[in-house]
Structure 1
Amino acid sequence: MKKLFVILSLLLAGCHAEASGGSFPVRLNSIGFLPGTSKKATIIQKCSGFELKRATDDEKVFSGEVTGPFHQEDVNQDAWVADFSAFADTGSYYLEVPGVGRSVTFRISDDVFRFPYVTTMRAFYLWRCGTAVEGDFNGQHFAHAACHLDDGYCDYLDGKGVIRKGTKGWHDAGDYGKYTVNAGITMGTLFLAWEQFRPTLEKATLGLPETAPGFPEYLEELKWETDWLLTMQYPDGSGRVSHKLTRTNFAGFVRPEDDKGKRYFTEWSSTATADFVAAMAMAARNFQPYDAAYAKTCLDAAEKSYAFLKKHPEMKPFEQGDFTTGAYKGKSDKDERLWAAVELWETTGNKNYLEDFEKSAPSFTPRIDSDWDWQNVKNLAMFTYALSKREGRNPKLAATIQQAILANADLLVEKGKQDIYGRPLGSRYYWGCNGTVARQAVNLQVANAISPNRAYTNTVVSIVDHLLGRNVYDRSYITGLGYQPPMHPHDRNSGSDNIEQPWPGYLVGGGRTATDWQDKQSDYTTNEIAINWQAALVYALAGLVDQH
């Protein structure tokens, strides 16, 4: 598989070689398109029509008129849109706009998103902590030695100088810390992708080392994170869960194996404990066919922590104290508790968990959010309830939530149409907003599962288009993929290995305004990577891998 991975990476990198080094007025997904879904480009110079040409012989195969102009304030641009969705022949092509110029070369193929999916999912393997990792991509060998084998010290848990096992898991972002709350939404998103797109994901070869014999590769990777999460539960049997496992401050840009600072289990928080419950409940039901004993370990841990939360209904926030690493502090734990309850019900069928969810769910307004991340996991709870095949749901509540999901998806479709670059988040920008754009694919695919609608999947395509080049920068936001991808992410692996190319497959956070993204290592506010954003990207691509 490694050899195949190298060949494909070189092929995808080389197909845009003629376009390197500049910006094009014709902006589109620089990887390509599926034959039967939406195909659009944004043109930022006045024009009236376009031609689609075959890359091998420059033959015109399709033509059409553009729509526009459309003015968009946040980027201060007039734009015209070329729609060539009606063309479905496979091959390599480019768009030519008379009097304006051409686009990069792209493919139309049934498998056009398979390699991007594999690359972005393998990025989690390259994030592994507590072990050596290696991989070849685009002619480069990326590797680090086993790291952070002393995870972690218990000084903040009344065990000064005592080391307890806290190895495995993924480095959280551009730093080497491990955070329970962010792991929660990450695992929730990845498990949901497995539950929705399992036949596709089972067939996709990731080329991972065998660390969980008998598991499908996708779940094998999720088990690596689950193994670590289990160590975050207090060893005293209380059910409390440490908020994070990090140094007291961030490490510099050093190799992970050279990061020798002491790393500590922190005090517990109710948000971390509830996120842990939800992730462990999902792990239990998804791992059960492959390792029933391990699945029971996950479920027992989830139920223990949930019982603790029931006895302590008040929110217990995390206080940073001596720590300056990521805080992941939410303002409420009600959404995490809601999610914990419904995942335990979905796994066990226990009506007590169902009652907890149904008692709490009506208090959440709106039912579904378009803009959500680690600090608000309500959507994950609502999605599990809406998609459940279990008996016993309140029919009225289930219908209300399903209707809210569909209404939200309809809204996202319209917002995507109104944006000149097909961005359903519209004019909202902030730290990590590219992750939210990718995460809106979850809203849309859940809606599509409830009531299939081509507009929903086409809007997911529009999201992926945006992240792979149909944007104001005319650049891919994903390292190693597409036209002019990020070269200097805020990522300690990429910044400390003396290789010019960054580690491949990672989604950068994006601008805090419409035009202030900087491809600079120092700019963590716009150019960092993170597991929660990455999981959303993997989900978005997973839903497109087997579209025909």
Structure 2
Amino acid sequence: MKKPVLLLLFLLSIVSSLLAQNIHLNSLGFLTNGPKSAVVPQSCTSFKLVSLATGDVVFEGKTTGPNYQKDVDQEVWNVDFSDFQKPGDYYLEVPGVGRSDEFKIANDAFNFAAVTSMRAFYLWRCGMAVDGEFAGNHYHQDVCHLDDAYEDYIGKKGSKRDGTGGWHDAGDHGKYVVNAGVSLGVLFYAWDHFQPQLEKMDLDIPETAPGFPDFLQELKWETDWILKMQYPDGSGRVSHKLTRKNFSGFIMASDDDAKRYFTEWSSAATADFVGIMAMAARYFKPYDAAYAQKCLDAAWVSYRFLQENPEAKRFVQGDFKTGGYQTRDSDDRLWAAAELWATTGDESCLSDFEKRAAEFDYKIEENWDWSNVSNLAMYTYALSSRKGKNTEAEAAIKKNIIANADALVEKAEADVYSRALGGRYYWGCNGTVARQTVNLQVANLIQPNPKYKKAAIGIVDHIFGKNYYNRSYVTGLGINPPMFPHDRRSGADSIDAPWPGYLVGGGHSATDWVDKQESYSHNEIAINWQAALVYALVGFVSY
């Protein structure tokens, strides 16, 4: 990113934050037949919806409020124009406050953002050159990391085998199996839940998996790499990650020439490998049966290893200072059993899952990520049409899914900015907020309820501007998006604007988010958060 413009951009950011008293809304727009709302954190009584094309007032109404929320320390008034359903370009005008940013009302209001956010995975690819055009800029990354990787830490000092491919994990250039687990799990769910729409999605990516729809082509690029993380000795063990020993500076991936290694295995990574490969076998089979069988065979090898080695094996960083992703393995083993059963119908996998699910008390988490993927297991079981399920276990899980979604709806309705995670904040919480759309959409598949869809749309609204900052959290999209993500490409290239379509992590409180490159705990990007963003958006695309 060019340095002479940093001060100007910083000042613009300050000015924008000072204008946070304006009209906060989803600047992407609104679905024609969907909910449409905005928040005004200053006293107002009425509003007008104005056509951008004609200047005519096409709808008007009264605001409601005030509603006070402690974590943002604001009184806000609500604007609701859901009853207006005519496609077009508009803005809101609130007497005594001003006018909002322009937005559109359309059935495809989220399509461009969905494509841009999904295409961001292609721009993350490791082991090949990538190119992208966006907003007049050409983004390019030369081919990188063709020496992946050395086997010194798995007992073969000085030897090297193929570990190329996959996605860079986050703002750094490492590749991590555990984080790939929740990321691919959520993206495979997107395909499963919204396949008719996604089959039509054109990502304008290289044809690296001929015959596959674009969406699945991108998932296969990561799956190809995951397959390489299984130990070549046939044991079924899976390396925890593939990285250099410590993080690089802000350089392009093609300039990152430090030695990179397969690390020692962990039981969580091995179990996540099983979950990924079982899903890949299921969803890739219609397009490449031989590849699907390869994935399934690999899943069985690792699953049998886990069955023979029930003790947890955590990854120990040792010489490594890159991302740890250390975690217990009970939820990962639960997920492995669920996916392998869903793919094969194997009764031993079903029994394994049901025993473990009972130990989890069939709980559904509202706050979940790479360190707890039990929701993936519960959802796969609940939605599977396979026979043989324990009726009491299935009923308990479905009951908990509905109760969890109802609680998220209640929190979203109570939060002035439609944030279903409520007042909980931490490193990467924006990813969790986006991932809660999975909870809501799964519940809607089990027991359709318009409140679940409304809460999920509210989450999209929140991410793209209906928030305390009146800013989008996604680079290149929406109002005043992040300009300084913790992303080595964005910091190292010569382009002012960051690489587009990436969700940043967010604040550790309701009001402390900072758009600063050096603040990885506020402004990093990562595949697990990105997958959640994609899922949130593709649930509402229209072709």
TM-score by structure 2 length?
Answer: 0.96
Equivalent runs, 1:280-295 vs 2, <5 Å: 280-295=277-292
The answer for unaligned runs of 5 or more in structure 2 is 1-14
- Aligned with 2:298: secondary structure? helix
Question: Identity rate of aligned residues, in percent?
Answer: 62
Tell me if 1:435 matches 2:423. no
Tell me if 1:195 matches 2:192. yes
Deviation by residue 1:13-34 (Cα, 9 ceiling, x = unmatched)? xxxxxx9895451100001000
* Pairing partner for 2:163 from 162, 166, 170: 166
Equivalent runs, 1:119-158 vs 2, <5 Å: 119-158=116-155
Tell me if 1:210 matches 2:194. no
Equivalent runs, 1:89-128 vs 2, <5 Å: 89-128=86-125
Equivalent runs, 1:291-310 vs 2, <5 Å: 291-310=288-307
Tell me if 1:380 matches 2:372. no
Deviation by residue 1:173-194 (Cα, 9 ceiling, x = unmatched)? 0000000000000000000110
Partner of 2:68: 71
Deviation by residue 1:429-466 (Cα, 9 ceiling, x = unmatched)? 00000000000000000001111111101111100000
Equivalent runs, 1:402-441 vs 2, <5 Å: 402-441=398-437
- Aligned with 2:139: secondary structure? strand
CA distance in 1, matches of 2:218, 2:356: 33
Does structure 1 conserve the Cα–Cα contact (< 8 Å) formed by 2:364 and 2:378?
yes
Partner of 2:479: 483
Does structure 1 conserve the Cα–Cα contact (< 8 Å) formed by 2:362 and 2:393?
no
For this pair of structures, how many residues does the alignment match?
528
Read off the aligned partner of 2:351 and give its amino acid letter: E
Change in 2 beyond 3 A, CA 1:174/1:229: same
Read off the aligned partner of 2:110 and give its amino acid letter: F
Partner of 2:466: 470
Partner of 2:320: 323
Deviation by residue 1:234-278 (Cα, 9 ceiling, x = unmatched)? 000000000000000001111110000000000000000000100
Change in 2 beyond 3 A, CA 1:97/1:366: farther
CA distance in 2, matches of 1:212, 1:531: 21
Tell me if 1:247 matches 2:244. yes
Partner of 2:4: none
- Aligned with 2:38: secondary structure? strand
- Aligned with 2:76: secondary structure? strand
Deviation by residue 1:282-330 (Cα, 9 ceiling, x = unmatched)? 0001011111111011001101000000000010000000000000011
Does structure 2 conserve the Cα–Cα contact (< 8 Å) formed by 1:435 and 1:537?
yes
Partner of 1:398: 394
- Aligned with 2:157: secondary structure? strand
CA distance in 2, matches of 1:371, 1:360: 20
Partner of 1:4: none
User: 1:57 deviation in Å?
Assistant: 2.1
CA distance in 1, matches of 2:496, 2:45: 41
Read off the aligned partner of 2:308 and give its amino acid letter: K
Partner of 1:14: none
Partner of 2:233: 236
CA distance in 2, matches of 1:376, 1:39: 33
CA distance in 2, matches of 1:93, 1:284: 46
- Aligned with 1:160: secondary structure? coil
CA distance in 2, matches of 1:366, 1:49: 47
Equivalent runs, 1:346-385 vs 2, <5 Å: 346-365=342-361, 367-385=363-381
Deviation by residue 1:42-92 (Cα, 9 ceiling, x = unmatched)? 100101111111112221111111111111111111101111111111001
CA distance in 1, matches of 2:356, 2:168: 33
Does structure 2 conserve the Cα–Cα contact (< 8 Å) formed by 1:24 and 1:103?
no
What is the RMSD of the two structures over their aligned residues, measured on CA atoms? Answer: 1.1
- Aligned with 2:331: secondary structure? helix
CA distance in 1, matches of 2:304, 2:361: 26
The answer for unaligned runs of 5 or more in structure 1 is 1-18
CA distance in 2, matches of 1:389, 1:214: 27
User: 1:365 deviation in Å?
Assistant: 3.9
CA distance in 1, matches of 2:150, 2:242: 9
Moved beyond 3 Å, runs of 4+: 19-24
User: 1:36 deviation in Å?
Assistant: 1.1
Does structure 2 conserve the Cα–Cα contact (< 8 Å) formed by 1:123 and 1:505?
yes
CA distance in 1, matches of 2:63, 2:171: 41
- Aligned with 1:79: secondary structure? strand
Does structure 2 conserve the Cα–Cα contact (< 8 Å) formed by 1:55 and 1:94?
yes
Does structure 2 conserve the Cα–Cα contact (< 8 Å) formed by 1:20 and 1:483?
no
Partner of 1:279: 276
Does structure 1 conserve the Cα–Cα contact (< 8 Å) formed by 2:28 and 2:478?
yes
